[in-house]
Amino acid sequence: MNKNVGSTDRLVRILLGIGLLLLAFEGPRTAWGYVGLVPLITGLLGYCPLYRAFGRKSLGTTMP
């Protein structure tokens, strides 16, 4: 499993995942907050299966 998620993308995914997970424990306390596990796990692993399926990667790319 090769990494295909860059550092900025990883940071955004981790923060988004934590934010969504907080919805499951704080705030409205809905089960939708568990969707935050997906960006959190992909951010921690540095690998996104959807990027692989579509032939994309954010690793090694820079913004102009």
Q: What is the structure's pLDDT at 57?
A: 85
Segment-wise mean pLDDT, segments of 10 residues, the chain, 64 residues: 91 95 86 92 95 86 50
Contacts 24+ apart (CB under 8 A), 9-12: 9/43, 9/58, 10/43, 10/44, 10/46, 11/43, 12/43
Q: What is the pTM of this model?
A: 0.83
Res 32: pLDDT:
84
pLDDT at 61: 57
Decide: 37 and 17 in contact? Cβ < 8 Å.
yes
